[in-house]
Structure 1
């Protein structure tokens, strides 16, 4: 009787042969990708570098350094997400930048949903908001935008409901080191106010940059204008503002582009969000009454062109960077009358109360017109105290930064607004000088 042929050794040999072929083909494909499409290979590797392989090394107590005990910061949340041995995720969240923390547990697949529920993030509830409202975004504490959800795991990260990075103020007097700022290296940002959020930076500009701005602007200064609110259509701009202005395009000189990049490095908001520099001159007795730099949609209902330009309130000035171009002996301060949460002043011409920032050559102040959740901040009301000295040059320069890309810039940045009741203006960033900018 013939025995059946023994095939037990041939099957593994066949499998082994095809395994070798598969490995060889894979190696060739990877080699070709490396040579021809290195970016694609990097994306391939990062995509398959699963969160499962990330070690649990984060210490969530590191999040506490960013907390404030001053007040809830609406729309700013600090997260620490830790991966456990069983691959579940432990979430520690500090809602609105405050203690105590919120705790939850989830899987990676449900992380986004759990974060939205835990932080009570509301989705747009009307057609206009769904069309124009910017979605929330995640950032490192240094201001780098995170594009992958798994970058949240085993890290301390910030979530901003308004979709753009804002430096945490922490408390008045707090100092934050911002690294690798173009043309300056590392700079120190000091908190001057939490309500509204105001920072200062010393020696931000250079003397030769001030000279360049002055030389390009002085011959072009014209009376400043305002974009009038509803009910103020027949009022003159000089009722609120008596300065002269020139919008200086960054393409006028290479150094202006360098300053733009410096501003982007400082604020961590892309350069494409910036307006042109607004150069200002305030001569003796000239002033700008209290105003805000954002456009209040509810007060421009009679101006459909303005409403369309600001996406019905969802595209607005977020930051003003104000450069001081000279020292001023008397007056010329930037004043925030609602400092600390003070009530709205009875008159927009009262410069006796509030935070006053004296103009100091080469310094800048940075203040936010929008809250971290994207809402306008009425506490950002501010004005310019009357200068009591004669100005030979320009007083300051202002650059506005929108929370949405400004590459398709409208002429709106050339307007300022009259303020509710008396005056409200929208400027980008101001620099004040007593001799020159």
Structure 2
């Protein structure tokens, strides 16, 4: 694998001119890799140049995503942690999705809901233009965040998530807990950041999500992956893991998903977003 992770000003200028001449960013990135550049660095640098220079291109973000099996996908049908035995209920390769059972105990689900209830605020989304968080009509839940390892209970869960996903605790954002009342939803979206808004000083791109279900929903509230034809019914203590960034820095548009409206009852979930490198 290439090791070059620095780009000269002359090379950057050449890339901009070449992009403006109509050459696909994918072709340029592949050329950089052949010249010895680190694949992730090459692809992410091209993403940033395209975004920063507002160059109109085709074929980069729409290039065919190269699927790679994450480590969690090699663990078999049972995932063992220090304190739990987690069953894989179903698996989808493209996009990569694992439906997991017995990730949390009933008591842990109830404790997480109890600890979070008083701290809920209207949920926000990341603005694709500014990169800032804002309230949006497509996301009508309420939520809150825990700081990493905030207390002994959260620390225990963080350690388990590390064992499940194989990614270090420091790669994870603080656990988010969400509550959806009847009629509330989160319309179709991606969990990864816009590629020109990735902050490499703060963990870089999101690469995967572990979504945990804290209660049984009377009706509605499924997590739907429309391009994969997958619908996950919330079940207390279960979770869904999905992976959407590869080693070249590509993001998987097949990972688009939504939380459809709750029809009866309410829905509680916890979300663990994982970054490509240490955040803290």
Q: TM-score, normalised by structure 2?
A: 0.71
Alignment of 1:11-410 (within 5 A): 123-124=36-37, 129=41, 165-168=70-73, 175-179=76-80, 181-184=81-84, 186-230=85-129, 237-298=135-196, 306-307=197-198, 309-310=199-200, 315-339=204-228, 354-391=229-266, 395-407=268-280
Q: 1:366 to 1:377 in 2, by over 3 A?
A: same
Aligned residues of 1:197 and 1:367 also touching (Cα < 8 A): yes
How far, CA to CA, are the matches of 1:331 and 1:260 in structure 2? Answer: 28
Structure 1 residue matching 2:261: 3-state secondary structure: coil
Q: 1:318, CA displacement in angstroms?
A: 1.0
Partner of 2:57: none
Structure 1 residue matching 2:187: 3-state secondary structure: strand
Structure 2 residue matching 1:167: 3-state secondary structure: helix
How far, CA to CA, are the matches of 2:251 and 2:180 in structure 1? Answer: 27
How far, CA to CA, are the matches of 1:398 and 1:327 in structure 2? Answer: 16
Q: Cα RMSD (Å) of the superposition?
A: 3.5
CA deviation digits over 1:399-430, x for unaligned, max 9? 111121122xxxxxxxxxxxxxxxxxxxxxxx
Q: 1:245, CA displacement in angstroms?
A: 0.8
Q: 1:253, CA displacement in angstroms?
A: 2.7
Q: 1:295, CA displacement in angstroms?
A: 0.5
Q: TM-score, normalised by structure 1?
A: 0.47
**How many pairs does the alignment contain?**
229
Q: 1:310, CA displacement in angstroms?
A: 4.1
How far, CA to CA, are the matches of 2:41 and 2:247 in structure 1? Answer: 17
Structure 1 residue matching 2:136: 3-state secondary structure: helix
CA deviation digits over 1:212-267, x for unaligned, max 9? 2112211110011112123999x973321111110023444312111111111111
Q: 1:272 to 1:250 in 2, by over 3 A?
A: closer
Q: 1:204, CA displacement in angstroms?
A: 0.9
By relative contact order (CA 8 Å, sep 6+), the higher-ranking structure is 2
How far, CA to CA, are the matches of 1:232 and 1:165 in structure 2? Answer: 27
